[in-house]
Chains A and B, each alone.
Chain A
Amino acid sequence: MVVLLLSLLMKVTDNNVAYVADLANLELTEEERAHMLRDLNSILEYIERLSELETDKVAPMAQVSDRYGVDDSRQGSDRFAYAIREDVKEGLRKSLPHDDALKNAPDTDGTFFEVPKVIER
């Protein structure tokens, strides 16, 4: 009975955890999944209080830079001119030399990054 009540109170289920882990490219051990189920539920329960706020007419805020950069007198992408630069060959710095770019690779043939065979799961 107690177990049943608990499971009714929980928002996130075992299936959710497995599905989200899959989306996030994580495997997780049995033990980690159990922890995750408990932790996500306790955190989401706390986050639930956001629903107390009426926000239908509030615009979402994705970032701060719009406050000082955006030019509202202009149209379309010109509004974001502050973040735009000339599109030049080699950009702001030269591309990394090939060898430097490969230096940290776990596996390489000297020209490309090497990975295991790509097989559909």
Chain B
Amino acid sequence: MTAGKEIAGKINTVGLTIDEIRGAITEDRTTATALATEFYDRIRKEDSEIGAFLTLCEERALKQAGLIDQMAAEGQPLPPLAGVPVAIKDVMVTRGVRTTAGSKILDNFIPPYDCTAVARLEAAGAVILGKLNCDEFAMGSSTENSAYHAVHNPRDKSRVPGGSSGGSAAAVAAEMAVATLGSDTGGSIRQPASFCGVVGLKPTYGRVSRYGLIAFASSLDHIGPFAKTVKDVALVLRTIAGRDPMDSTSADVPVPDYVAELERPVRGSGEALKIGVAKEYFGSGLDPEVRAAVEAAIQKLAELGCEVVPVSLPHTEYAIPAYYIVATAEASSNLARYDGVRYGFRAKSATLSEMYRLSRDGGFGMEVKRRIMLGTYALSAGYYDAYYLKAQKVRTLLTRDFDDAFKKVDVIAAPTCPTPAFRLGEKVNDPLAMYLADIYTVTANLAGIPGISVPCGENHEKLPIGLQLFARHFDEVTLLRVAHTYEQARSSLVVGRSSLVARSRVPALDLLL
């Protein structure tokens, strides 16, 4: 046992996974209450330097922990996530617990109901510690747009944790929660997972109900989990996935046992799984160390028995422009509800129309206003066809790219982000540069396919690098299986150029150069 590790009851809470918790409570090596208390202690001690949490809900957490401990004491079978300390991005509403979306306009908002994903976690025994910091209304790629405070990357505090779910990624990386929920509209789960060195999954559109998710862009918004391992992510997905009558876009597609499928070999008695590699994801702007680490990961997948195949996603370069039209257009409509009438911030004014404008002016931050303006412009008379309709057509082309590629391959591998975590303040005054941080992630939101980011190494400054994998709609089973297989094998992998030189390269990788 390493020095400095903390003990709740008789188990180690650093590096703790969901997997270990239920057994430890059942076998009386710890209690849900001891775990929650220890995580709160750590948050109080360490979060002042990270800034991951906006609100703690200790009363609700300890009540839930008490229920789990009582069940254990009575010898009842425990639910799958019994006693697991989790935390929720502050864009998902929680009954009786302040929910801000990272915005001053909702500074005092106490929701009257629970988001479906949150309710399902709690019903499965999870203990919700609190609400996590994020970019205002999930608009951003660094969490610097939070109206409250920035989040520092636990791996290097001078750097951003990514965004918009920066608090969700940082809380897992800093061991302040075992798993967290985030939301991903253009990469907001996968990009921070990559920057903080944890696993983050954006499921298929419709896989997880959006009921109770504060809307940014409804056709692109997804809820998904963060954790330290692919297996934990699979456990959380199993809990939150599935049809919800409260969200008509949630799909009536059966939820498989993701965990049971993880260990199935990527090369069975028959054919090997095919991994696609697209040169469009390895173009200019990709950091050489990120490229080397991702190529080494693909090489590793080949060694594990996957067949690496070149694919083409020719419209990739149009994804960011199409995304920023569709996302902002939907946002301008969704954010029209913040008018100071029924909830949220209200500015004092003599007339109703002035109250609307001043409340929105005072309540929204600059990036939110910028996106409302862009979206309103794109939807306004005379510009609708040139911008919004055009972007929707390009969305069709981007989706067809993936349809064609998935006729040839089962999974596509790519970098999650072009660079490792950048410094706080580095891109804050250049919105376009910030948007380009999402260049490899927005495509999956436009097409609705599932994507995951798994750690695949570090650069020379010890900053984490993420491998991104995509799969067909509703094929999270294969996505998680490949990610898990890679993760298990990675411990024996030396990342970097040297490992490539030593091995014979997969031919498909040479096509990238």
Which positions in A face B, CB cutoff 8 Å?
Answer: 12, 16-17, 19-21, 23-28, 32, 35-36, 39-40, 42-44, 46-53, 55, 58-65, 67-69, 82-85, 92-93, 96, 100-101, 103-107, 113, 115-119, 121
A23 touches B376 (CB 8 A): yes
A20 touches B358 (CB 8 A): no
Interface centre among B206, B373, B435 (most CB of A within 10 A): B373
B393 touches A55 (CB 8 A): yes
What is the CA–CA distance of A103 and B113 in the complex, to the nearest angstrom?
12
The count of residues in chain B whose C-beta lies closer than 8 Å to any C-beta of chain A is 75
B311 sits at the interface (CB 8 A) = no
Known: A116-B350, A116-B352, A117-B350. A104 touches B377 (CB 8 A): no
* Option from B249, B357, B373, B396 in Cβ contact (under 8 Å) with A60: B396
Interface of chain B residues 343 through 386 with chain A (CB within 8 A): 343-346, 349-358, 360-361, 364, 366, 369-370, 372-374, 376-377, 380, 386
Additional A-B contacts beyond A46-B320, A106-B344 (5; CB < 8 A): A19-B380, A25-B353, A68-B251, A104-B342, A116-B349
Kindly list chain B residues whose C-beta atoms are within 8 Å of the C-beta of A52: 318
CB-nearest residue of chain A to B350: A116
CB-nearest residue of chain B to A55: B393
What is the CA–CA distance of A65 and B364 in the complex, to the nearest angstrom?
31
* Option from B251, B372, B394 in Cβ contact (under 8 Å) with A50: B394
A104 touches B108 (CB 8 A): yes
Chain A nearest CB: distance from B364 CB in Å?
Answer: 8
CB-nearest residue of chain B to A106: B346
* Option from B366, B394, B432 in Cβ contact (under 8 Å) with A42: B432
* Option from A24, A69, A92, A105 in Cβ contact (under 8 Å) with B245: A92
* Option from B219, B325, B352, B431 in Cβ contact (under 8 Å) with A39: B431
- Chain B, residues 457-480, CB within 8 Å of chain A (1/0): the string is 000000000000000011000000
What is the CA–CA distance of A83 and B249 in the complex, to the nearest angstrom?
7
What is the CA–CA distance of A117 and B354 in the complex, to the nearest angstrom?
10
A-B contact pairs, 27 of them (CB 8 A): A19-B380, A20-B373, A25-B353, A27-B361, A36-B373, A42-B431, A43-B431, A48-B321, A50-B322, A50-B394, A51-B390, A53-B394, A59-B393, A60-B395, A61-B395, A64-B205, A64-B448, A65-B249, A67-B473, A68-B473, A68-B474, A84-B248, A104-B110, A104-B342, A106-B341, A115-B355, A117-B351
What is the CA–CA distance of A25 and B356 in the complex, to the nearest angstrom?
7
Kindly list chain A residues whose C-beta atoms are within 8 Å of the C-beta of B109: 104
* Option from B245, B315, B351 in Cβ contact (under 8 Å) with A116: B351
B392 touches A105 (CB 8 A): no
B339 sits at the interface (CB 8 A) = yes
Kindly list chain B residues whose C-beta atoms are within 8 Å of the C-beta of A113: 341-342
Chain A nearest CB: distance from B9 CB in Å?
Answer: 39
B399 sits at the interface (CB 8 A) = yes
Chain A nearest CB: distance from B167 CB in Å?
Answer: 23
Interface centre among A53, A64, A119 (most CB of B within 10 A): A64
Chain A nearest CB: distance from B442 CB in Å?
Answer: 13
Known: A58-B393, A116-B352. A106 touches B340 (CB 8 A): yes
Chain A nearest CB: distance from B336 CB in Å?
Answer: 7
Kindly list chain A residues whose C-beta atoms are within 8 Å of the C-beta of B354: 116
B325 touches A47 (CB 8 A): yes
Kindly list chain A residues whose C-beta atoms are within 8 Å of the C-beta of B205: 64-65
Kindly list chain B residues whose C-beta atoms are within 8 Å of the C-beta of A21: 373
Kindly list chain A residues whose C-beta atoms are within 8 Å of the C-beta of B322: 50
CB-nearest residue of chain B to A69: B251
What is the CA–CA distance of A121 and B358 in the complex, to the nearest angstrom?
14
B344 touches A104 (CB 8 A): yes
Kindly list chain A residues whose C-beta atoms are within 8 Å of the C-beta of B366: 32, 35
Which positions in B face A, CB cutoff 8 Å?
Answer: 108-110, 112-113, 205-206, 218-219, 245-246, 248-249, 251-253, 315, 317-318, 320-322, 324-325, 332, 336, 339-346, 349-358, 360-361, 364, 366, 369-370, 372-374, 376-377, 380, 386-387, 389-397, 399, 431-432, 435, 447-448, 473-474
What is the CA–CA distance of A67 and B406 in the complex, to the nearest angstrom?
15
What is the CA–CA distance of A67 and B432 in the complex, to the nearest angstrom?
31
Q: Which 9 A-B pairs have the closest CB atoms?
A: A64-B448, A60-B392, A104-B343, A106-B346, A83-B248, A55-B393, A64-B205, A63-B219, A47-B321
Chain B nearest CB: distance from A39 CB in Å?
Answer: 5
* Option from A46, A55, A119 in Cβ contact (under 8 Å) with B432: A46
CB-nearest residue of chain A to B111: A104
B252 touches A40 (CB 8 A): no
CB-nearest residue of chain B to A84: B248
What is the CA–CA distance of A64 and B364 in the complex, to the nearest angstrom?
29
Kindly list chain B residues whose C-beta atoms are within 8 Å of the C-beta of A121: 351, 353
Kindly list chain B residues whose C-beta atoms are within 8 Å of the C-beta of A49: 317-318, 321
B380 touches A23 (CB 8 A): yes
Chain A nearest CB: distance from B367 CB in Å?
Answer: 10
A59 touches B251 (CB 8 A): no
Kindly list chain A residues whose C-beta atoms are within 8 Å of the C-beta of B249: 63, 65, 83
What is the CA–CA distance of A112 and B399 in the complex, to the nearest angstrom?
47
Known: A59-B396, A63-B219, A103-B110. A115 touches B352 (CB 8 A): yes
What is the CA–CA distance of A20 and B320 in the complex, to the nearest angstrom?
23
A24 touches B376 (CB 8 A): yes
Kindly list chain B residues whose C-beta atoms are within 8 Å of the C-beta of A115: 341, 352, 355
Interface centre among B108, B325, B343 (most CB of A within 10 A): B343
CB-nearest residue of chain B to A82: B252
What is the CA–CA distance of A52 and B377 in the complex, to the nearest angstrom?
21
What is the CA–CA distance of A113 and B340 in the complex, to the nearest angstrom?
10
Kindly list chain A residues whose C-beta atoms are within 8 Å of the C-beta of B355: 115-116
Kindly list chain B residues whose C-beta atoms are within 8 Å of the C-beta of A82: 252
What is the CA–CA distance of A35 and B108 in the complex, to the nearest angstrom?
29
